Amino acid sequence: MKTAYINNTPHQFKEDETILNFVKRVVGEKIIPTLCDAPNLEAFGSCRICSVDVALEKDGPTKVMASCHTPVSTDMYIYPSSESIQELRKNIIELVISDHPLECLTCEVNGNCQLQDVVGEVGLRDVRYPKEFENHLDYKKDLSHPYMTSDFSKCINCYRCVRACDEVQGQFVLSMAGRGFDAHIVKGEEQNFFESACVSCGACAQACPTSAISDVFESKSTKADEKTRTICTYCGVGCNLEVSTKNGEILSIQAPIDAEVNAGHTCLKGRYAFKFYNHEERLRQPLIKKNGEFEEVSWDEAYEYITSKMSSFKDEFGPDSMAGISSSRCTNEENYLMQKFFRAVIQTNNIDGCARVCHSPTALGMQRTFGTGAATNSVDDLDDTNCIMVIGANPTSGHPVTGAKMKQFAMKTDNISIVIDPRKTEIANYATHHLQLRPGTNVAVLNMMMHYIIIEGLADEKFIADKTEGFDNYKKSLLNINIDKLEEVSGVNRELVRQAAIAYATAPNAMSFHGLGVTEQYQGTFTVMQIADLALLTGNIGRRGVGVNPLRGQNNVQGAADMGVQPHQGAGYLDITNDDVNRKYNAFYGATVPKHIGYKIPEMFEAALEGKLKALWIIGEDVVQTDPNTQKVIKALNSTDLVIVQELFMTETAKYADVVLPGASFLEKSGTFTNGERRIQAVRKVVEPQGNSKVDGQIIIDVMNRMGYTQPDYDAKTMLEEISQIVPFFAGVKWDELGKRGKQWPVAKGGTDTQILHTDTFKRGKGKFVYNEFAESREILKHGDEYPYILTTNRDLEHYNCGAMTRRTGNVEIHTEDVLWINPEDAAEKNIKEGDKVCVESPRGKVDLSAFITDGVKPGILSTTFHFPEIMVNNLTSDEHCTEAHCPEYKVVSVKMRKSKGEFARK
Ligand code: SF4
């Protein structure tokens, strides 16, 4: 380390340390005041409040320098608080205050305003400049948006909001217009927040040091009497949230700067879409349907009803007459309990959940190739990669904080980004290569890519020889593929594929991210295996900045699968058909767990339709709205004697229940969620459950106890202790040691976690190449002629899954309905105009959607979301599924379309 001087005292400074950071580290945080500086933004040097005197020799002439962006150099003499510097700071602040409303006492951020703090720190008492001169105090407030607000009379032109919008979110909505006195912040093209392209992430509001930009929850005010750190309930990114409460009510949510996952950032769902928690429609009392109507009952009555029916079904029809669907919204501990209830108390393996439904091909495909079915690396590795391949994922909508990081990556000049997707997603607009393939042809394109890597001599021969098996046959098959045919079926020019393949293979480090556009397909598992093969082929596995990284959908999809919410694997992915595993579970649970594989969700519905399923307990999953082939799901529920739905709201599924149990939201319970990076993070209770609702884990335990199985009351710490004894990769997980960054599994007994998988060997020994040929989806083969368009479904930024939570927040004002993406050529051919209602029909049913005409999809391809129950898009989707993992094929639906008639015609 080298030496520099602060007030003539020598200190050692770090490489690339700025004067500001050096002084803060050595002398203290409060020595140098700042305004335009922020911990998650690049140094900018605009406000000059952080100026210090600097000499290059002892007692030499000094120069004023902005400390925030000036690096320390050897033998620099720094005087952070000289008399002239203090005077300079006071003068700067005096000028700022001369054009600032003096209404601190009524200001939202009174007591938590950085400008107010700095005024105090520099000792400014009076402003010498008269107020009657021209100023900016009459700016109108912008209250156009359901969340974002602005009052630019409070703006001090520090650029923090502009930089947050650019550097954190990458949205470029905010900018500075005008010069000198006219300099001012603009949104979009001088629009208001609502009209602009703002995505409401709130990064600007959090960055603003005053209340010039804020939000309707006044997140920066200090009115809270408690702040609790917890984890977002929406997507698998797993953002940390800091929730402010007063008198048991939630006031607002901010993003902690020191969070490893999100470092002060969130999307609008995590930061603002929380008001569902005490919405008037929350279920607050158990309900039993009597004579076709729900009636409120006590918990005792509900429990008695459930347990007596389940016990009699068990006696009369056997354990396999019952099944459970657990929830990726719930904690690990609750998912563990739900599968334990079915395995140890009911004694069936009929337990499944959306964790298996949507990413089962990921688990299976990666297990086949590597031996472990989870992300190999962390999102943070974007800092160390040169190339990303995003396939079948729309991260800026589905995983927005990760999506924002990818956008930042893609915008940097030397970085390569490859997007393989049928839609021009936002990330595709920034990509170096966008392979806009026909839905259902991922295997065709990936086989072409690997073919070119081999014939261009870019395979990593040493890695392949040392760490893999099966390559010779694999190579032979790849060299024999029919490029003409694959080019035709995929609709992607071979030269584009070749260039993307070369870019991936020649990057020093390349990492892939995939989503449901990979898994929810007929060849989902094969596609995952190919993505893994691509990493093996190019040696991109086992170090930072590489690997295969599934973007997990719901917040705790990873955790629910880890906990055994699958009919074929118990807690810790142990094979339930294996004798040793069976003995282990039996001994641990003190019960006899069956060894035969249970029903997957579609098989539960089939069994119900065949009269074999007597009871179905569903927690936090709206199968009617989100599972494919809605009418079939409804028939199955109607055919089941006892349907128990544990929910926050009266969802479409809950309407078909016999018993509705009011569960608790993530804000009302403790436990852990595991994000898409295998990171186990602490969820901490913020408020009490609403009304007479209960923590979901406690409900399961109450039923367990009433059915004769002793299970202690729900407590996150003790539950985690139990889990750590049966799930091998949780061996060292302790509630008290999760800290602020959580732990990435596997966690060894001593508590050491694992950031990168497969650094030496693979769990299965060697990485295994298996060639899989492209095959057309059965849906297209069966129905393609009569239903010539392909519909692919996806998600929007503003809503999550069935939208039960987000539709009960301000998000519904931003995004109001599911719309249909149609290419202009198709729209012209069918005489459809923007906003017209379009009737989309599949072999299963039809729905009417408003047209959104865009070249974001190619001719012949349609796209929509499934967030609104009024539309029920899953009336269209089919029972087709991945051949290996049985994941439903939501992404390829054969449909026809026409302009709507009758009540849906354009008014
Ligand atoms: Fe973060 Fe996802 Fe929650 Fe948005 S939805 S705040 S990206 S965890």
User: Is the beta carbon of 398 within 6 A of some atom in ligand 1?
Assistant: no
User: Is the beta carbon of 232 within 6 A of some atom in ligand 1?
Assistant: yes
- Centroid of ligand 1 to alpha carbon of 674 (angstroms): 13
User: Is the beta carbon of 269 within 6 A of some atom in ligand 1?
Assistant: yes
Q: Where are the alpha helices (DSSP H) in 590-686?
A: 601-609, 623-626, 630-638
| pLDDT for res 573 | 93
Give the pLDDT band of residue 52 (cuts 50, 70, 90). very high
The tokens for 166 are: 């650019």
The mean per-residue pLDDT over the stretch 811-840 comes to: 94
The mean per-residue pLDDT over the stretch 102-127 comes to: 89
- Of 196-210, 634-648, 860-874, give the lowest mean pLDDT range: 860-874
Pocket test for ligand 1, best of 168, 199, 200, 237 (most atoms within 8 A of CB): 237
- Give the number of other CB atoms < 10 A from CB of residue 133: 8
Instruction: Report the C-alpha gap between 370 and 379 in whole angstroms.
Output: 20
261 has a pLDDT exceeding 90? yes
- Centroid of ligand 1 to alpha carbon of 231 (angstroms): 9
848 has a pLDDT exceeding 60? yes
Instruction: Report the C-alpha gap between 765 and 770 in whole angstroms.
Output: 15
DSSP letter at 620?
S
Task: Look over the chain and give the mean of its residue pLDDT values, rounded to a whole number.
Answer: 94
At 244, which helix (H) or strand (E)?
A: strand 240-246
User: Is the beta carbon of 239 within 6 A of some atom in ligand 1?
Assistant: yes
Please report where in the chains the tokens 């293979």 appear, as a residue: 505
- Give the number of other CB atoms < 10 A from CB of residue 592: 13
Instruction: Report the C-alpha gap between 200 and 192 in whole angstroms.
Output: 12
Percent of the chain residues topping a pLDDT of 70: 99
Give the pLDDT band of residue 904 (cuts 50, 70, 90). low
| pLDDT for res 705 | 97
Q: What is the pLDDT of residues 778-812, one digit of tens each?
A: 999 999 999 999 999 988 888 888 788 889 899 99
Q: Hey, whose CA ends up nearest to atom 1 of ligand 1?
A: 239
User: Do 435 and 500 form a contact (C-beta atoms < 8 A)?
Assistant: yes
Report the candidate in 612, 559, 571 with the shortest Cα–Cα distance to residue 343. Answer: 571
Q: Which atom of ligand 1 lies at the shortest distance from residue 255's CA?
A: 6
| pLDDT for res 895 | 97
Q: Which atom of ligand 1 lies at the shortest distance from residue 232's CA?
A: 3
- Centroid of ligand 1 to alpha carbon of 490 (angstroms): 33
- Of 258-272, 468-482, 619-633, 765-779, give the lowest mean pLDDT range: 619-633
Any residues with CB less than 8 A from the CB of 634 and at least 6 apart, and which?
624, 656
- Centroid of ligand 1 to alpha carbon of 423 (angstroms): 22
Instruction: Report the C-alpha gap between 753 and 737 in whole angstroms.
Output: 11
User: Is the beta carbon of 762 within 6 A of some atom in ligand 1?
Assistant: no
The mean per-residue pLDDT over the stretch 182-189 comes to: 92
| pLDDT for res 906 | 55
Angle subtended at Cα 107 by Cα 251 and Cα 96, rounded to the nearest 5 degrees: 130
Pocket test for ligand 1, best of 199, 219, 229, 239 (most atoms within 8 A of CB): 239
User: Is the beta carbon of 266 within 6 A of some atom in ligand 1?
Assistant: yes
Percent of the chain residues topping a pLDDT of 90: 85
Look at residue 163 and give its three-state secondary structure. Answer: helix
907 has a pLDDT exceeding 60? no
Q: Which atom of ligand 1 lies at the shortest distance from residue 555's CA?
A: 8
733 has a pLDDT exceeding 60? yes
Q: What is the pLDDT of residues 131-149, one digit of tens each?
A: 777 777 788 899 999 999 9
Instruction: Report the C-alpha gap between 107 and 116 in whole angstroms.
Output: 11
DSSP string, 290-321: ETTEEEE--HHHHHHHHHHHHHHHHHHH-GGG
Cα–Cα distances (Å) from 407 to 43, 132, 358, 400, 873, in that order, read: 21, 46, 25, 10, 30
- Centroid of ligand 1 to alpha carbon of 3 (angstroms): 43
User: Do 305 and 288 form a contact (C-beta atoms < 8 A)?
Assistant: yes
Cα–Cα distances (Å) from 491 to 99, 294, 370, 513, 629, in that order, read: 59, 52, 31, 22, 28
Report the candidate in 140, 42, 884 with the shortest Cα–Cα distance to residue 521. Answer: 884
Pocket test for ligand 1, best of 199, 240, 266, 396 (most atoms within 8 A of CB): 266
Instruction: Report the C-alpha gap between 488 and 8 in whole angstroms.
Output: 73
Report the candidate in 536, 519, 528, 418 with the shortest Cα–Cα distance to residue 474. Answer: 536
Pocket test for ligand 1, best of 243, 328, 401 (most atoms within 8 A of CB): 401
Counted residue by residue, the chain has a size of 907
Instruction: Report the C-alpha gap between 591 and 840 in whole angstroms.
Output: 51
Q: Hey, whose CA ends up nearest to atom 6 of ligand 1?
A: 270
DSSP string, 398-417: HSHHHHHHHHHHHHSTT-EE
The mean per-residue pLDDT over the stretch 51-56 comes to: 95
Q: Which atom of ligand 1 lies at the shortest distance from residue 271's CA?
A: 6
Q: Which atom of ligand 1 lies at the shortest distance from residue 234's CA?
A: 5
Helix 494-506 vs helix 483-490: crossing angle, to nearest 10: 100
Q: What is the pLDDT of residues 658-692, one digit of tens each?
A: 999 999 999 999 999 999 999 999 999 999 999 99
User: In degrees rounded to 5, what are phi and psi of residue 438?
Assistant: -75, 140
- Centroid of ligand 1 to alpha carbon of 630 (angstroms): 28
Q: Which atom of ligand 1 lies at the shortest distance from residue 675's CA?
A: 8
User: Do 568 and 601 form a contact (C-beta atoms < 8 A)?
Assistant: no
The DSSP bridge partners found for residue 215 are 148
Q: Which atom of ligand 1 lies at the shortest distance from residue 270's CA?
A: 6
627 has a pLDDT exceeding 90? no
Cα–Cα distances (Å) from 81 to 13, 25, 55, 652, in that order, read: 19, 16, 14, 65
User: In degrees rounded to 5, what are phi and psi of residue 877?
Assistant: -70, 165
Report the candidate in 363, 368, 369, 417 with the shortest Cα–Cα distance to residue 393. Answer: 417
The tokens for 256 are: 């902690």
Report the candidate in 310, 886, 339 with the shortest Cα–Cα distance to residue 640. Answer: 310
Q: What is the pLDDT of residues 419-464, one digit of tens each?
A: 999 999 999 999 999 999 999 999 999 999 999 999 999 999 999 9
Please report where in the chains the tokens 């608080």 appear, as a residue: 81
| pLDDT for res 626 | 86
Q: Which atom of ligand 1 lies at the shortest distance from residue 241's CA?
A: 6
Any residues with CB less than 8 A from the CB of 723 and at least 6 apart, and which?
332, 333, 336, 563, 571, 730, 733
- Centroid of ligand 1 to alpha carbon of 658 (angstroms): 34
- Centroid of ligand 1 to alpha carbon of 799 (angstroms): 11
- Give the number of other CB atoms < 10 A from CB of residue 88: 18
356 has a pLDDT exceeding 90? no
Pocket test for ligand 1, best of 399, 667, 673 (most atoms within 8 A of CB): 399
Instruction: Report the C-alpha gap between 638 and 454 in whole angstroms.
Output: 54
User: Is the beta carbon of 270 within 6 A of some atom in ligand 1?
Assistant: yes
Q: Exposed, middle or buried: residue 470 (CB in 10 Å: 0-12, 13-18, 19+)?
A: middle
User: Is the beta carbon of 807 within 6 A of some atom in ligand 1?
Assistant: no
- Centroid of ligand 1 to alpha carbon of 261 (angstroms): 10
User: Do 200 and 145 form a contact (C-beta atoms < 8 A)?
Assistant: yes
- Positive or negative, the CA dihedral 883, 888, 892, 897 is positive
- Give the number of other CB atoms < 10 A from CB of residue 703: 22
Q: Exposed, middle or buried: residue 573 (CB in 10 Å: 0-12, 13-18, 19+)?
A: buried
User: Do 393 and 417 form a contact (C-beta atoms < 8 A)?
Assistant: no
User: Is the beta carbon of 235 within 6 A of some atom in ligand 1?
Assistant: yes
Report the candidate in 364, 469, 512 with the shortest Cα–Cα distance to residue 769. Answer: 469
- The alpha carbon of residue 744 and the mean position of all alpha carbons in its chain are separated, in whole angstroms, by 17
Q: Hey, whose CA ends up nearest to atom 2 of ligand 1?
A: 235
User: Is the beta carbon of 234 within 6 A of some atom in ligand 1?
Assistant: yes
Q: Where are the alpha helices (DSSP H) in 663-795?
A: 696-706, 716-726, 778-783
Pocket test for ligand 1, best of 206, 235, 551 (most atoms within 8 A of CB): 235
User: Do 351 and 339 form a contact (C-beta atoms < 8 A)?
Assistant: yes
User: Is the beta carbon of 557 within 6 A of some atom in ligand 1?
Assistant: no
- Centroid of ligand 1 to alpha carbon of 804 (angstroms): 16
N- to C-terminal Cα separation, the chain: 73
**Strand 893-899 and strand 789-794: pairing?**
antiparallel
The mean per-residue pLDDT over the stretch 159-164 comes to: 96
The mean per-residue pLDDT over the stretch 472-496 comes to: 97
Torsion of CA 665, 669, 671, 675, to 10 degrees: 30
- Centroid of ligand 1 to alpha carbon of 518 (angstroms): 21
Instruction: Report the C-alpha gap between 401 and 236 in whole angstroms.
Output: 10
At 97, which helix (H) or strand (E)?
A: helix 83-97
Give the pLDDT band of residue 822 (cuts 50, 70, 90). very high
User: Is the beta carbon of 842 within 6 A of some atom in ligand 1?
Assistant: no
- Of 136-140, 142-146, 246-250, 530-534, give the lowest mean pLDDT range: 136-140
